[in-house]
Amino acid sequence: MTKQVLDTNGKALGEITLAKEVFGVEPNLHVMHLALRRQLNNARQGSTSAKTRAEVSGGGKKPWKQKGTGRARAGSLRSPLFAGGGVVFGPKPRSFEINMPQKARKLALKSALSAREENIIVVKDFSAITEPKTKLMAGIIKSLELSGKILVIADTSADENKNLSLASGNIPSVKLLLPSNLNVKDLLEADFVVMTEKAVNDITERLQ
């Protein structure tokens, strides 16, 4: 499997071979679904909380005497029966974390990459962005004829990509990821996936 390596003007510079074991596997929908569920669940804070009658302040005094009032007996105004009282079986902080074997996580990533293979565009690097200006990134998007949601995978710490993060920050349709942060959700949501040549090699090395 080969892909053309383009410069940021859309001109072909050469070809790169995509490893069939990473970019050409039969997509496993079940494993991708599990990986997506894991990612969404692990992103949940799980910090919602409601106070029980023991945690609500006040209510220490018996509101009225036990007998003779004609009303039902009550021991505290912080009972769940009263406004301002505690909550019965309310939510408490919890973890929604789901574990998944490393082999399954790798298979999910390879399945997502293989499913989006036709929409992957490989560029040499982003050295053409010589200044941290949005218009330079917008020009690249136009030159590469990209539209919709665009996922850019590049090492922003490299000198040739040092202005990429600031240049793309103000474009809502562009999401920037490090190769090490590649995930199933972003791959499946993107209309186009733009990778640098180095990012392709890093991902291949990690997933093979």
* pLDDT tens, position by position, 3-30: 899 988 888 989 999 999 999 999 999 9
User: Would you state the pLDDT for residue 8?
Assistant: 87
User: Would you state the pLDDT for residue 154?
Assistant: 93
User: Would you state the pLDDT for residue 144?
Assistant: 92
User: Would you state the pLDDT for residue 23?
Assistant: 93
pLDDT in tens, the chain (208 residues): 788 999 888 889 899 999 999 999 999 999 999 999 999 999 999 999 999 999 999 999 999 999 999 999 999 999 999 999 999 999 999 999 999 999 999 999 999 999 999 999 999 999 999 999 999 999 999 999 999 999 999 998 888 888 999 999 999 999 999 999 999 999 999 999 999 999 999 999 999 8
User: Would you state the pLDDT for residue 149?
Assistant: 95
Alpha-carbon distance values, 95 to 43, 99, 129, 205 (Å): 10, 12, 42, 33
In CATH, what number does 2-44+100-207 get? Answer: 3.40.1370.10
**What is the location of CATH 3.40.1370.10 in the chain?**
2-44+100-207
Instruction: Compute the radius of gyration of the chain from its Cα atoms.
Output: 27
User: Would you state the pLDDT for residue 152?
Assistant: 96
Instruction: Report DSSP state, residue 44.
Output: -
Bridge partners of residue 12, in order along the sequence: 6
User: Would you state the pLDDT for residue 200?
Assistant: 94
Alpha carbons within 13 angstroms on the beta-carbon side of residue 134 total 6
Q: Exposed, middle or buried, 100 (CB in 10 Å: 0-12/13-18/19+)?
A: middle
